[in-house]
Structure 1
């Protein structure tokens, strides 16, 4: 089977009250989503309803912050205890989130800024700061916060539409996941893969962002149309199995995270991917991206859905969303690939090992 990331028009699900039970167009979308999630774990969506002006605002916000001097950006460096703020180049190793120590031990080459949902955003719900930390907005980039929040809200809305479509694609009621995401841990990581000359040495083997899977339910990715993102397919071994993927005009790339793979007991794929941006004359070609992670409620229990475990088959053990995320974030921030792993992590790491053979 040749590798292909399908493009799906999800506009039928934007109609209020739309459902596969009553609308053949929705039923067709749900069938396309199921096939993409079983075969690839990645898809592109169009007809998503996100205003182009919000995307333009996001791009301007990225340029405003990442264009600051490195010393200024470091004022907003992420605190060790949360996942908010600035991460300088070579401060993370995403392969470690799988409990895998990369052979070359090279940390990922990119700078990033992460924001996320705060406890105060959800009225009437008592939530732990450990999962819903306050954001660290950069005063040195005054246009950053409002533009990012506007886009964040749109990505949240899109994710909820997609999850309802995914519910029907799995043969579940359209609202099956609603109570599992009504105070969702959402985060957005904005990445920059080009830096002024002299800030970091371009020498030896270089990896923009190491091979990894995402942690939560699904990811909505906006990215420049520049080579770099590579997705692992089933149609080869070693480097031949990695395929370049770029978003189509006006499309968002969507991929599943480990929570959804565990819920479906690997009926749907949480696919390994990495970023290897092109280098020309010793300089990385400019590439920006923003990955919105729709992760689910901190206390939602991830266990296989009905009908996903065959008689005599194996199943992932139950784990909460917060436990799953905390273990993996600790790995990528500290590099402690051999430290505590969430239940089922060995099964996830085996995918990485097989791809690296």
Structure 2
């Protein structure tokens, strides 16, 4: 079967539309989630001005002097602030060693939901609701990032509304699993100064991994680099279509659906032009669910029996982060590890 990441217009869920129009979209999402685990969405409703301002402020931050960016590095367990190049290894989140001889070369800046976002709840900062850090050198950074964060949060909640329809669940089914969701926006920069790395063919911008939570919305340049593992066990290049956002499912949705839907392995390879790495930017909005939500097989997906034991969002996400950020191999990801090992030689 030919590899394809379908483009789906979700505007019927953003605007007023008929039940029939929405049902058609839900069927398309179900098909993409069950065959590729990736899709591209149009009609998401994010204004071009918000996207342009966000891209510009991302450029402003990553253009800062490395010593300044280092000021915004935080402890790995908080998943906030700056991540310098070659300090993480995403493959470790799967419990396998990376195929590279060094850690991933991307740099990143993370912001997310905090305890202050839910003042009526007693949420532990250490469980994923840590405070954000904001670069004082950039006067518009916080405003522009928060504007995009709010829009991405709206989009993921539109998607979970579609998911409930696609999975034959009651309207609003996911709301009580996500009403104080661990949401993280990771802004990535794939570029290094000349001479900092040996381009020996094994370098990876981001190692093979699956995303951790419910669903990820990705804004990205139309620059090569992202690769998705297809059903043929081969890596396929994926670039966003004009005006589209990339969407992929995370491990928690795979557990919820009993593998009816896929959390597909993906990676970022360096786009090398004339011996140098071409710059690539992306921003992934991770919608992980409430830290205390219990994830167990959905009633519409049990079939012959559940493949996964129940687990809380926090238990799952913290084990994954200990792998990627603290470089402690995840010993609870056997099914994902088997998939990445099968693709190592492809």
TM-score by length of 2: 0.96
Describe how 1:60-71 pairs up with structure 2 within 5 A.
60-71=56-67
Tell me the equivalent position of 2:320. Answer: 328
Cα distance between partner residues in 2 of 1:57 and 1:295: 26
How much has 1:299 moved relative to structure 2? 0.6
Cα distance between partner residues in 2 of 1:137 and 1:283: 31
Cα distance between partner residues in 2 of 1:302 and 1:209: 27
Q: What residue ranges of structure 1 are gaps of 5+ in the alignment?
A: none
Tell me the equivalent position of 2:52. Answer: 56
Q: 2:218 aligns with which of 203, 210, 221?
A: 221
Cα distance between partner residues in 2 of 1:298 and 1:49: 28
Structure 1 position 170 matched with structure 2 position 148? no
Cα distance between partner residues in 2 of 1:102 and 1:196: 23
Cα distance between partner residues in 1 of 2:107 and 2:184: 16
Cα distance between partner residues in 2 of 1:104 and 1:213: 17
* 3-state SS of 2:96 partner: coil
> Segments of 4+ in structure 1 off by > 4 A?
none
How much has 1:103 moved relative to structure 2? 4.0
How much has 1:111 moved relative to structure 2? 0.6
Cα distance between partner residues in 2 of 1:117 and 1:307: 30
Tell me the equivalent position of 1:285. Answer: 278
Describe how 1:201-220 pairs up with structure 2 within 5 A.
201-204=197-200, 205-220=202-217
Tell me the equivalent position of 2:309. Answer: 317
* 3-state SS of 1:81 partner: helix
Preserved CA contact (<8 Å) 1:79 1:85 = no
Cα distance between partner residues in 1 of 2:342 and 2:303: 24
How much has 1:353 moved relative to structure 2? 1.6
Decide which moves more: 166-175 or 252-261.
166-175
Structure 1 position 12 matched with structure 2 position 7? no
Structure 1 position 195 matched with structure 2 position 197? no
Q: What residue ranges of structure 2 are gaps of 5+ in the alignment?
A: none
How much has 1:314 moved relative to structure 2? 4.5
Cα distance between partner residues in 2 of 1:25 and 1:229: 31
Equivalent pairs counted in the alignment come to 343
Tell me the equivalent position of 1:349. Answer: 337
Preserved CA contact (<8 Å) 2:167 2:300 = no
* 3-state SS of 1:221 partner: strand
How much has 1:171 moved relative to structure 2? 0.8
Q: 1:233 aligns with which of 230, 235, 241?
A: 230
Decide which moves more: 143-152 or 302-311.
302-311
Tell me the equivalent position of 2:241. Answer: 248
* 3-state SS of 2:78 partner: coil
How much has 1:307 moved relative to structure 2? 3.4
Describe how 1:59-208 pairs up with structure 2 within 5 A.
59-130=55-126, 131-198=128-195, 200-204=196-200, 205-208=202-205
Cα distance between partner residues in 1 of 2:77 and 2:236: 35
* 3-state SS of 1:179 partner: helix
Cα distance between partner residues in 2 of 1:356 and 1:195: 25
* 3-state SS of 2:125 partner: coil
How much has 1:174 moved relative to structure 2? 2.1
